Structure 1
Amino acid sequence: MKVKDTGIGIPRQSSRLIFEPFRQASEGFSRSFEGLGIGLTVAKKFIEMMGGEIAVESDVGKGSEFIVKFPICSHDDLEFPKDFSYEKLLDEQIIHNYKYSSEVLLIEDDEATANIVRFYLGEICKTDWAYNAKTAISMAEKKNYSAILADINLGIGMDGIEAVNLIKKIKGYKSIPIIAVTAYALYGDREKFLKLGCTHYISKPFGKNDIVALVDKVLGSQL
C-alpha cells in the first residue's frame, strides 16, 4: 500500500527520526505548522504489530511517498484482543503508591501524550490532567498543586505560556515550579521559555527516566 502527498518533503537526514515519538522533519518554536510528532510512531507500531513494515521515499519541496507492506496470511492467523481498553490498561499500569504526597498539574491538549506522561510519573506523584488553558486555570483555582508541567502549543486559544503566567497570579502560585514540556527543541528555545516564565524545560522526545528524574528533583527540593 502506498500513500503519496505533495507536501514540503522530508530531508534525507530526517527520514528516520520522523518515526520516533515527538519528532518532526521541521522542529523549533519558529515552525509554521502544528503537530505533536507521534502520528507516524503510532502508525509504525500498529503496522509492526500486524507483521508489516513501513518506509518513506521523499524529495524536499516535492512531497513524500509512504510504502506499507503486509505479509499475506489467513484470517485464522490473526489474533485481536476482544475486550482491550487502552484506558483500562493505563489505569492498571499506573502505580498508586506515590513517592510524594504532592500533586502536579499537566497541561496537554493531546490525550495520548497526557496518558504517557501520567504513566511515567505514576511511581512518584499523582498527576491531574487539563486538556486546555481554561481548564488548567480552573483546576489551579480549586487545588494547590506543587508543580505544573505545561505543553507550549495547546492548539486553539491560549498557549501554555499564557496559561502558566495567569496561574502564577493565583494566590499561592507565584513561585510554583513550571516545567515546559514541548517539541520546540531548537537552539535557543529553552532559554526563550525560561525567560517567559518557566523554571524548567524538557524537550520531546523524552524517555521515562528523563522526565521522572526532573519531576523527582523538582518535588524533592520542596521537602
Structure 2
Amino acid sequence: MFVKIGVYIRLLLSDDVQRSSRSRRKSATMPFKKFAQIGRVIYINEGQYKGKLAVIVDIIDTNRALIDGPCHGVPRQQFKFCEMRLTTYVLKICRGMRTKLIRAAWEEAKISEKFEASTWNKNINKGLLRSSMTDFDRFKLGRAKQARNKIVKSAYLRLKRNILIAKRPTVKAARKLRGQKLAKKKELKEKKPKTWKPRKTRGPRAARNKAKPAKTVKAAK
C-alpha cells in the first residue's frame, strides 16, 4: 500500500514538473532577432570593403561565412563574423546560389533603397561628415547651436509669459477670495468675548518642597 502511494505521489510530482516546463516554454521569448543565416544581409565594418553591403551565401564554420555582394562590388569570398554586422534584411535565397540570381533577388527586394532610408545609414553619414570637419567648421557648428538654443529659449519664455498673462484673472480672483476669508476670520476673532483665565499657581511644587525634610549641616569640629 505504501509503495502504491509513493508511486502515485511521484506521478503527481512529475505531472507538475511537466506543466511548469510547458508554461515556461510558452512564456519564454527569444531575446535575439537577428541571426547569422543564409540570406542575411550584412554590413561590412572592417577591411577593404568597409561600408558596403553583402549577403551570406553559406556558413563555413562558427567564425566564417561565404558572402557575396554583387550590387555593391563585393566579390564572393569568405569573411569573418567579427568583421561584419547583421542587418534586419533577409533575402529568400538558397545555399550557394549563383551571383546572377542573388543580384535579381537583391534588386527585387530593394535592399539598397531600404538601407539608404534607414536611420543606421543616416547615422553613418553623420559620423563621416563629422570626421571630415575642420576646427573652424566645428567652431561654426558650435556658434550655430548657440544661436539656435537662444531662439528656442526666447520662444519658450514668450509662450510661458503669454500663458501666465492668460491666467492672471483667475489668480486675481483667487487672491481676492483668500483676502475675504482672512477678513471674515479676523471679524469673528474680534466678536468673540475675551475670557479671563486665572494663572496657574505653583501649589503642588511648593507643597512638595515643604514636605521635604530640611538639610542638616554638620558642625565642624
The answer to whether the superposition gives a TM-score over 0.5 is no
Structure 2 length normalisation: TM-score?
0.20
Task: Give me the TM-score of the superposition, normalised by structure 1.
Answer: 0.20
Which of the pair is proportionally richer in helix?
2
